[in-house]
Amino acid sequence: MSEFTGMPLIGDQFPDIEAQTTNGKLNLPKDLSGKWFILFSHPADFTPVCTTEFVAFQKRYEEFKKLNTELVGLSIDQIYSHIKWIEWIRDNLNVLIEFPVIADDGEIAKKLGMIHPGRGKNTVRAVFIVDPTGKLRAILYYPQELGRNFDELLRMIKALQVADGEKVAMPANWPNNELIGDRVIIPPASDYKAAMYKKDKYDNYDWWFCHRPLQ
């Protein structure tokens, strides 16, 4: 029987991981307690799509840090490969990768369900967004041939932080929603009295679709 290689689910606590990275040892989520972080895997070093992704992440690294968010990369490559690839990016593309990149022997990828079916030991383009309490808040998977949208990852962090801070939900394409712009959605009422109260208190399309500006 093959070994189970499942993955944690949204709402689960991120599993404890000890890893060697390009910036030294890292224990997740312990070392980043109190911060949001994005753990993202890439299929392999010295590949063109992955190179564009690393540059895209680094270009936005300061924006993520302003949101109290750290970045951590991962692939099943040796630390020497990671270092040499980072050197290549610096020397040829004039971009210095500052965030840590985990050198995985495959155990972490198996633990998180990152192994690409039918692609040997290559990891999928997985994204795990983890909040300051160590809870998994979002999980995304991309095929090898499709690079990720890093502005969307920034949007997700911003939206999750607003949702947590204001106890609201976020509309599609926030902050550029086609119906309510950058406003936020009030959670629906669970009884008649609350429904009528919310309908009177907030702008709405109906009692179950109330919205307000950001506070």
Catalytic positions are: 50
* DSSP output for 4-48: P-----TTSBPPPEEEEETTEEEEETGGGTTSEEEEEE-S-SS-H
Residue partners of 97: CB distance under 8 A and separation at least 6:
22, 54, 58, 86, 89, 90
What does the block give as tokens for 85?
């690839």
Please give, one letter per residue, the 3-state secondary structure of 174-193.
Answer: CCCECCCECCEECCCCCCHH
Look at the alpha carbons of 103, 108, 112, 117 in this order and tell me if their dihedral is positive or negative. positive
Query: How many distinct helices (H) and strands (E) make up the chain?
Result: 6, 10
Angle at 106 between CA 134 and CA 45, to 5 degrees: 95
